[in-house]
Amino acid sequence: MRSFEDIWSLAVDRKSEAEVMDGLQQPKSHEAIAAMPDDRFLATMTRCIFQSGFNWKVVDAMWPGFEAAFDGFDIGRCAMLHDEDFERLVSDTRIVRHGPKIRAVQQNAAFLSDIAREHGSAGAFFADWPVDNYIGLLDLLQKRGTRLGGNTGQYFLRFCGLDSFILSQSVVNRLIAEGVVAKAPTSARDKAAVQGAFNRWREQSGRSLTEISRVLAMSID
């Protein structure tokens, strides 16, 4: 496995140092994540779920309608949606009328409500999660949340500003080239190997998982 410095050089050779620097993203601070209201986590979850397998621009254009239809994503209200509410929502032209995804809003509101009750707030929970076990957080989202497995959970955490990596095809290809995995990681063993590689590059570089993820993506054709 190459050092992060070597992978940085590969990215610079493909692009340029200026382009690589411009392509980097910074995660939010611990304080900023901890201060995020619970409803913004539910809103971001919902946006990622509805964008999955769908035209992102359509969801973006309709987003004010989503905010109105789901009462600003208040987790208490969304967790208590009744059958009558679902009947109304699946006919609401302000949103994408996808029954299972609409149902996921209620289920994820209940999930976040539990998290907030256990940790004081969803923000406190996500802010305090150890960065060296990011894979563990993805696993938790998949197990306790609804429709938050795979890239959906990864994009949710990235859009919330957490220090994170996204296993895009480019990132996976770099991990394969470095001998970390032989294919897209799905097993516990492969996921642990990916986390270990990112932890090592983080120690070598002092950079965030978010930055490392972007450099890996830019380092390969």
Single pTM value for the model: 0.95
- Ordered by where they begin, the domains of the chain are 4-27+165-218 (no CATH), 31-159 (1.10.340.30)
Q: What is the 3-state secondary structure (H, E, C) of 135-153?
A: HHHHHHHHHHCCCCCHHHH
Placement of tokens 């946006």 in the chain: 47
- pLDDT tens-digit readout, 3-49: 999 999 999 999 999 999 999 999 999 999 999 999 999 999 999 99
Q: What are phi and psi of 108, to 5 degrees?
A: -75, -30
Give the chain's count of helices (H) and strands (E).
14, 0
| pLDDT surpasses 90 at 221 | no
Which amino acid is located at 18 in the chain? A
The stretch 68-97 carries a mean pLDDT of 96
The stretch 188-211 carries a mean pLDDT of 98
Q: What is the pLDDT of residue 183?
A: 97
Q: What's the pLDDT band for 170 if we cut at 50, 70, 90?
A: very high
Cα(119)–Cα(39) distance, rounded to whole angstroms?
A: 15
Average pLDDT over the chain reads 97
